[in-house]
Chains A and B, each alone.
Chain A
Amino acid sequence: MDTDPYLADNIFSEPEQIPQRNGYGDGVIEAGKKNKNVVVLCCDLVQSTRSLGFKKAFPERFFEMGIAEQNMAGIAAGMAFCGKIPYIASYAVFNPGRNWDQIRVSICFSMANVKVMGAHAGVTVGPNGGTHQALEDIAITRCLPNMTVIVPCDYLEAKKATIAMADLNGPVYMRFGREKLPAITTERTPFQIGRAETFRQGNDVTVIACGSLVYESLIAAEELSSDGVDVRVINCHTVKPIDKDSIVRAARETGAIVTAEEHQAHGGLGSSVSEVVSGNHPVPIEYVAIMDRFGESGTPDELMAKYGLKSPNIIDAVKKVLKRK
Chain B
Amino acid sequence: MDVTEKEIAFLENKADQIREDIIKMLLEAGSGHSAGSLGTADIFTALYFHVMKHDPKNPDWEERDRFVLSNAHICPVLYATLAHAGYFPKEEMMTLRKLGSRLQGHPHRGMLPGLEASGGSLGQGISIAVGMALANKLDGKRSRVYCMVGDGEEDEGQVWEAFLLAGKNRLNNLAVVVDRNNIQQDGFTEDIMPMEPLKGKYEMFGWHVLEVDGNDIRSLIGAFEEAKEIFEKPTMLLAHTIPGKGVDFMEFKPEWHGKPPDKEEAKKALEDLEQIKTLGGRIIGEHQ
Contact = CB atoms under 8 A, between A and B. Distances in A.
Interface residues of B: mostly helix, strand, loop or mixed? helix
Contact of B118 (A65, A70, A110): A110
A79 to B, nearest CB: 4
Nearest to A75: B131
B90 interface: no
Contacts of B164: 66, 68
A110 B161 contact: no
A294 interface: no
Interface in B215-262: none
B123 interface: yes
Interface stretch (A98-106, A120-128, A181-189): A98-106
Interface string B15-45: 0000000000000000000000000000000
A78 B168 CA distance: 17
A73 B131 CA distance: 9
A39 B132 CA distance: 13
B118 A109 contact: yes
B194 interface: no
A32 to B, nearest CB: 13
Nearest to A101: B121
A63 interface: yes
Contact of A78 (B120, B121, B132, B158): B132
B161 A81 contact: no
Given A68-B165, A75-B162, A102-B124, A84 B118 contact: no
Interface residues of A, number: 30
A81 B116 contact: yes
Contacts of A102: 121, 124, 127, 158
A71 B158 contact: yes
B139 A111 contact: no
Contacts of A255: none
Interface residues of B, number: 34
Contact of A110 (B117, B132, B133): B117
A105 B124 contact: yes
Interface string A80-113: 1111101000000000000001101110011100
Interface string B124-146: 11111111111110110000000
B154 to A, nearest CB: 14
Contacts, number: 107
A76 interface: yes
B108 A74 contact: no
A80 B110 CA distance: 13
B267 interface: no
Nearest to A104: B121
Given A68-B161, A70-B161, A78 B130 contact: yes
B132 A81 contact: yes
A147 to B, nearest CB: 15
A251 interface: no
Contacts of A104: 121
Contacts of A227: none
In the A-B complex, list the 3 residue pairs whose CB atoms are closest, starting with the nearest. Answer: A78-B131, A74-B127, A82-B135
Interface of A: 39, 60-61, 63, 65-66, 68, 70-71, 73-84, 86, 101-102, 104-106, 109-111
23 contacts: A61-B138, A65-B165, A68-B161, A70-B161, A71-B127, A73-B127, A75-B127, A75-B162, A75-B165, A77-B128, A77-B131, A78-B128, A78-B132, A79-B131, A81-B135, A82-B132, A82-B135, A82-B136, A101-B124, A102-B127, A105-B120, A106-B117, A106-B124
